[in-house]
Amino acid sequence: MFTYAVVARPDEVSNALKQQTDDILTQHGYTLDETAPDTVLVIGGDGTFIYAVHKYIDVLDRVRFFGIHTGTLGFYTDYRDTDFEEFIQTFLNGGVSEYSYPILEAKTERGTYYGINEIRVENASRTQDMDVYLNGRLFETFRGTGLCVSTQLGSTAYNRSAGGAVIQEGLSLIELTEIAGIHHSKYRSLNSPFILDDKTEISFSSASLKGALLGADSEVFSLDDVTKIDVSVSKEKQVKMLKGRNVYYFDRLHSLF
């Protein structure tokens, strides 16, 4: 509870707030621990928040995240930079509530990868063929650029840009969305965003994924020599977020879109 770290976007406003945060928390008896802190205070935008989660992915069982946005209001933060005094005092006075959010897990022959917003399989160099399995049963064969699996939080990010649906906050769902699918008389897949229960296990299988990339939020990894990707909600990892305000979800959507 009394160790902390600060992850800030590298801009003038964010760095100034980082310095203020360090000074105030030190004065109140908090100890800086950049390896495995109790709380990570995130100063920046949603991208900074996701970066912070990935930075501490190995110690998520003990870390909580509390964010302030140095731009417009985001989905991962409830405070703007102009609310800094309220933000820091709410934290110091214990006026926060803790919420847990799921993380997607992608497993390949090479390792395990995590996505807070989404897991993507994309191939910009050629048409990618993939068999799609849901809970171990063949659902369809997809042909096109790729496929995106998103969480509820991530439904407003890449998924939305790819034509996926926005999932209301609080629903335990994931979403499968095509990225530039090819559809004609010979090749046809669902060609629609597919909302799934968060216990659904999705597998992508292909004879060749040469040139394809696995995207885990902003991180990308080569899929050369990989033939199968298993995607599901992680049973071991989740993100713990602190909130000091109750921002109505539809107001947040309205302000951003």
Is residue 217 within 8 Å of residue 117, measured between CB atoms?
Answer: yes
| Residue closest to 127 by CA, chosen among 47, 202, 211 | 211
Is residue 118 within 8 Å of residue 135, measured between CB atoms?
Answer: no
Catalytic one among 46, 217, 225, 251?
46
- The Cα–Cα gap between 119 and 115 comes to 6
- Angle formed at CA 228 by CA 223 and CA 232, multiple of 5 degrees: 105
> Is 33 assigned a catalytic role?
no
Q: In this structure, how many other beta carbons lie within 10 angstroms of the beta carbon of residue 255?
A: 10
Which residues lie below 8 Å from residue 94, measured CB to CB, with a gap of 6+?
none
**39-44/64-69 β-pairing:** parallel
- The Cα–Cα gap between 89 and 93 comes to 6
- The Cα–Cα gap between 114 and 149 comes to 12
- Residues with catalytic roles: 46
